[in-house]
Amino acid sequence: MNNTIIFEYSKWLILLCIVIAFGYAFLLYFRDKKFAELKKSKVYLLAAFRFLSSLIISLLLLSPLLKSIERTVQKPVVVFAVDNSESLFLSCDNKDDEFNLMQENLQNAINQVSNTFDVETFSFGAYLSDTLFYDFSKKQTDISNVITEINSRFYNKNIGAVILITDGIYNKGSNPLFNLKNVMYPIYTVGVGDTTVYKDLIVQDVEYNEIAFLNNRFPLVVSVFSKKLNNQNASCNVYQNGKLLASQTFTIGSDNFLQKLTFDIDATKAGVQQYLITVTKIAGERNTINNSKIIAINVIENRQKILILANSPHPDVAAIFNSLKTNVNFDIEVAMANRFTGNVTDYSLVIFYQLPSLKNSVKDIVNQVIAAELPMFFVVGSQTNNVELNDLNLGLNIAQYNNSYDDVNAYINPNFVDFEVSDKLSSLLQSSPPMIVPFGNYTLSGQMKEILLQKVKNIKTAKPLIVFSSSEISTNSNIGFIIGENIWRTRMHCFTQFGDFEVFDEFFNQIIQALVLKTDKNRFTVKVDKIIPENQDVLFKAEVYDKIYQLTNSANVSLSFTDSLGNILEYDFKKTQSSYVLNIGVLPQGKYTYFASTEVAGEKLTTSGSFVVVNSDIEALNLVADHNLLYKISENTGGRFLYPHNLDSLHTFLQTNPNIISVSYEKQELDEFVKFKWIFFLIISLLSLEWFLRKFWGSY
């Protein structure tokens, strides 16, 4: 370390400080006669103390600084990153011998390199781990993330090289070649695994909705990929609890062949249901782990009771009834308004057909529905009393001109995105007979969403035809409107055009399904994904509401869950700003049930549920090592591609690389002398000693 004293003012002022200090000491001790009796040696000593203390004080007025320069030499850092994913282990025949040899060679290489360089070791799967571990259990591989993490962790450090030991197979993240632009160091890749392509039949992917409705059919689209099995026959099967639900056979058409198979499965039981999809195990297959895949689907029991309350008989009422009864989750009842004696709270949805009318005011019934926070659906027609409908303040206001009506067609609102509308519906609407709608102006609340708009004589208008929204009256009640009658004609035209009512019925059921969607009103809710891959953390979120439905997190929330073997584990949630969170990490494959509880103002609240952890066999889908990718990574960064048996040469390669050198860093610091406490004590000591000697020698 080099230290230098610098001054903020001219160094010539130092001479002035010396002159002032000397003059002050001289005048004090050599011009004052009271020191004449002292020996000259004593006077000189006292003058020296005064000179030094005065000089130090005057020099401090020049703001001196101590400049320290420290030079350090940083050896290059060599980073070893070892792939710890399942694919390495699965691709080897003689696993124990191969990996024992690889680990031995790797450890020897690390020991050699550490004699010359600073060494950091990591293992990785989907993420980079700080420990060098060999259990080959990671369910995903993200090589691109490894490069990003190393760049981040060793930012502004002297990275000499990165040694990447992997099979080159990645199934998460982007192609690592696209992530090399910020790499300023060579990457030496060590290719492990088998590059031979063997016969393989793979359940590559299963496309499905994670939610299905009880007693409905749902599709499974299975993608089967095969290698080197041209002209072979194979079959794909779907099982539940060991029972075969569906099967299809097919012939493989080439050595690299992809077949998509669609299965329609009946949802016969509510709850989270697991299904096993398998393909034939063909002779000569080396990897049979990827011949099957387990999925889970949350089957919801969503049976709804719907009341169609009509002003009078009309073909539209029959069309609505026949359309809704195609949904096995709906129980439909039709009643005339003047004869209805039931309780509207017994229903999940009330459809008011051309109500309120001049003959039948349904204000009391509407108020009962609103009080019960039930969804409503209104069909407006020539019998509707629009004045009374407007007075209900439900989000739609119709200003009708002279009680007149207009014939309009429909077109789909291009900005509607709440659910997908089929292309066939658009074709149907283009040629459907017109509907009768009130002629006038329409005003919608900001919550209303327009599904269909009016088209008058092929001119598209912005006037609504079918709308729905969350009501402004109650946050838990949905409201919808069809502003027109004679929808039965559209349903009949659907049969004429397509040979069935499916397109119309599907669309109408979508609207009703959106309206009857239930909102959870519980004061204590716990949310967790119903289906969780086994390589993903299980994350719970909880919310607690007080009696006026305001969020609170003053209470403690506990959770216990039971695995498929009956083991019970207990946890406590962590509080966040207004709710709770609990991460219990990765769980093994299986079905789990949970029970959560809390206590708010002396009231105990509980909730329960279940979830399924499904297998994640993505590492087994492809076991063909990609050494070509590793070669390109090394080539693009100035490194080398090696095999495990070449690791003993790694140290030599690193030493002979002219770009891997030590770096000298210079650290400079400036400190003000006035901050040094020892200078203060030195001045005090000089003045105190001077005063003591003067007193001792009798000068005062």
Q: Express each pLDDT in 348-358 by its tens digit.
A: 899 999 999 99
Q: Is the peptide bond before 356 cis (omega within 30 degrees of 0)?
A: yes
* Strand, helix or coil for residue 651: helix
Residue 581 has pLDDT above 90, yes or no: yes
The DSSP result for 357-371, as a single string, is BSS---HHHHHHHHH
User: In three state form, how does the secondary structure of 5-74 look?
Assistant: EEECCCCCHHHHHHHHHHHHHHHHHHCCHHHCCCCHHHHHHHHHHHHHHHHHHHHHCCCEEEEEEEEEEE
What residues does each domain of the chain span?
2-70+670-696, 76-196+624-661, 200-300, 304-515, 524-614
Distance CA 534, CA 615 (A): 5
Confidence tier at 680 by pLDDT (50, 70, 90) = confident
Confidence tier at 471 by pLDDT (50, 70, 90) = very low
Q: Is the dihedral of CA 547, 549, 555, 560 positive or negative?
A: positive
- What is the second-level CATH architecture of the domain 76-196+624-661? 3-Layer(aba) Sandwich (3.40)
Through-space distance between the first and last CA atoms of the chain, rounded to whole angstroms? 48
Alpha carbon distances (Å) from 176 to 146, 189, 617, 695: 9, 12, 22, 83
In this prediction, residue 406 carries a pLDDT of 92
Q: What percent of the chain has pLDDT over 70?
A: 95
How many degrees, rounded to 5, is the angle at CA 5 between CA 3 and CA 11? Answer: 155
Residues 6 or more apart in contact with residue 463 via CB below 8 angstroms: 408, 442, 453, 454
Residue 105 near residue 645 (C-beta atoms within 8 A) = yes
In this prediction, residue 4 carries a pLDDT of 79
Cα 279 to chain centroid, rounded: 32
In this prediction, residue 520 carries a pLDDT of 52
Distance CA 590, CA 563 (A): 7
Region of poorest pLDDT, from 235-249, 374-388, 536-550, 644-658? 536-550
In this prediction, residue 1 carries a pLDDT of 64
- Which comes out higher in pLDDT, residue 533 or 108? 108
Confidence tier at 474 by pLDDT (50, 70, 90) = very low
Distance CA 351, CA 462 (A): 25
Residues 6 or more apart in contact with residue 281 via CB below 8 angstroms: 201, 288, 291
Region of poorest pLDDT, from 52-56, 116-120, 383-387, 569-573? 52-56
Residue 37 has pLDDT above 90, yes or no: no
Region of poorest pLDDT, from 185-199, 386-400, 465-479, 667-681? 465-479
- Which comes out higher in pLDDT, residue 287 or 225? 225
**Which residue's entry shows tokens 């990929």?**
225
In this prediction, residue 552 carries a pLDDT of 86
* pLDDT digit string, tens, across residues 268-317: 888 888 899 999 998 888 888 889 988 888 887 767 889 999 999 999 99
Residue 672 has pLDDT above 90, yes or no: no
Please count the other Cβ atoms lying within 10 Å of the Cβ belonging to residue 55: 19
* pTM (2 d.p.): 0.56
**Which residue's entry shows tokens 């069809």?**
482
In this prediction, residue 96 carries a pLDDT of 58
Confidence tier at 549 by pLDDT (50, 70, 90) = low
In this prediction, residue 686 carries a pLDDT of 85
* pLDDT digit string, tens, across residues 321-373: 999 998 877 889 999 999 998 899 889 899 999 999 999 989 999 999 988 88
Residue 608 near residue 592 (C-beta atoms within 8 A) = no
Q: Look over the chain and give the mean of its residue pLDDT values, rounded to a whole number.
A: 87
Confidence tier at 49 by pLDDT (50, 70, 90) = confident
Residues 6 or more apart in contact with residue 388 via CB below 8 angstroms: 356, 361, 363
Distance CA 258, CA 24 (A): 101
Distance CA 395, CA 147 (A): 55
Residue 44 has pLDDT above 70, yes or no: yes
User: In three state form, how does the secondary structure of 270-311 look?
Assistant: CEEEEEEEEECCCCCCCCCHHHEEEEEEEEECCCEEEEEEEC
* pLDDT digit string, tens, across residues 58-84: 888 888 888 787 777 788 999 999 998
Fold category of 304-515 in CATH: Rossmann fold (3.40.50)
In this prediction, residue 473 carries a pLDDT of 42
In this prediction, residue 521 carries a pLDDT of 57
Confidence tier at 136 by pLDDT (50, 70, 90) = confident
Residue 573 has pLDDT above 90, yes or no: yes
In this prediction, residue 34 carries a pLDDT of 72
Mean pLDDT calculated for residue range 517-546: 81
Distance CA 516, CA 280 (A): 43
Distance CA 593, CA 537 (A): 16
Most confident of 20-29, 257-266, 367-376: 257-266
Mean pLDDT calculated for residue range 146-162: 91
User: Do 76-196+624-661 and 200-300 show the same overall fold?
Assistant: no
Mean pLDDT calculated for residue range 146-169: 92
Query: Between 423-431 and 487-498, two packed helices, what is the crossing angle to 10 degrees?
Result: 110
Superfamily name with CATH number, domain 200-300: Immunoglobulins (2.60.40.10)
- What is the second-level CATH architecture of the domain 524-614? Sandwich (2.60)
Confidence tier at 472 by pLDDT (50, 70, 90) = very low
* Strand, helix or coil for residue 480: strand
Mean pLDDT calculated for residue range 673-697: 83
Residue 584 near residue 611 (C-beta atoms within 8 A) = no
Mean pLDDT calculated for residue range 8-33: 81
Residue 580's closest CA among 603, 599, 558?
558
Residue 94 has pLDDT above 90, yes or no: no
